[in-house]
Amino acid sequence: MPKPLLRIPYTTPFPHPHIHPSSATTQAGALSALHQFFTSPPPSSLPPSTVILTGAGLSVASGLADYRGANGTYRVNKTYRPIYYHEFLASHEARKRYWARSFLGWTTLHKAAPNASHYAVRDLADLGLVSSVITQNVDSFHPRAHPGTNTVELHGYLRSTVCTSCLEEYPRNSFQDELARLNPVWAALLSEAIASGALETEDPIEKRKRGIRMNPDGDVDVPNAPYTTFRYPACPKCLVDPPLVGDGVRGVVEVDDDGAWTSESNAGILKPAVVMFGESISNRVKQAAEDAIDGAGRLLVLATSLATYSAWRLAKRARDRGMPIGIVNMGGVRGEDIFFSHLDPHQLGNQGVRVELPTEQLLPALVEELSRSAQGTRLPHADMPLQGGSGVFKDMLS
């Protein structure tokens, strides 16, 4: 594959964080600081609610790979790089490779489920403490865990495919069935991998011993696999009614005898309903994320290094609005000093919090602590109405 024109941001670790307040190095200290963070009134000009911004680290406890964590793909697989949007659109061979690897990874991704961190976010919303969630994750765990809370899926979702011509969406489960029908040899390989347990182990070393590499977003690399033989379907809608592709010219959508997209086509290409590397986030989603920040008085960042600018800019927007910011992440975060340099060294968490503890341990304990507080004392915004979310889990991909 040719060298990409775009650079993957920050594949090496960020500097070790400074903990704020200094007492938050233990779970007890972190709970005390986050209790102050949630229950202290925000600056007078800001709303009383909290918006949460999450990243890939939140789903590691569900068995999914992340990019930059201690066992993240950029650490254990130095040669890995994701496919770029322009490559996917331009190259039939690149799409074969992508869909073959996604076909092998889908079963594990689809079987995975939200973990304690996702349900703790739900419980924080049920306590009236969280107004919205913005997630960089494409696994749909947030809308599954808390369908009643507004969730902005910043980078899209794997539960669907979308046509690059007509923008029609299709369930990823149905697409998986089509891939299996068009690629019986690959379907047999997948069955063997499942039977051997190769896709079940969470140990990356054991996976490599079994001849596979699990990467984020349902991507499975099988070295020396004949990706060029893989076939994928065309968009059903465009196959029946080819779209206009420019200057009023009708596009061409051709399939082979089994219904697989062929290289004579110039339309009807299905892609995952995610924002690929090099692809722009839609204005609608950008606006929804900014509205979620602007509608809250605090920002809690969970399990992300904020390496992607699309996420970092939201945290920066919160800082520029004067919102207290809390960060719970294992390892450093991009440019995090700007979020905490203004803090009074004696503050106890009301102005900001930086914690380096696992979310799946810390967040359920925080919910328990805040629930006890709510029983005895009215929380500052306990009467805040819950916002209805899009929350329907259709099906998933990459």
The catalytic residues are: 155
In whole angstroms, give the CA distance from residue 221 to residue 213: 5
d(CA 278, CA 286): 16
How far apart, in whole angstroms, are the C-alpha atoms of residue 236 and residue 175?
Answer: 11
Neighbours of 55 (CB within 10 A): 26
Q: What is the DSSP pairing of strand 169-171 with strand 156-163?
A: antiparallel
**End-to-end Cα distance, the chain:** 18
- Would you state the structure tokens that stand for residue 33, as one six-digit string? 């600081």
- Contact by Cβ (8 Å): 64, 397: no
Q: How far is CA 321 from CA 44, 53, 133, 286, 296, in A?
A: 12, 16, 18, 17, 10
Tracing tokens 């079940």 back to the chain, one arrives at: 200
Element (H, E) at 95: helix 92-111
- Residue 78 neighbours by CB distance under 10 Å: 9
The whole-angstrom separation of Cα 196 and Cα 190 is 10
Within 8 A by CB and 6+ apart from 79, the residues are none
**Phi-psi bin for 394: left (phi > 0), alpha (psi -120 to 50), beta?**
alpha
The two structure tokens encoding residue 10: 């920050």
Element (H, E) at 29: helix 27-39
> From CA 221, how far away is CA 315, in angstroms rounded?
33
The span from the CA of 58 to the CA of 66, in Å, is: 9
Q: Which tokens hold the place of 216?
A: 């984020």
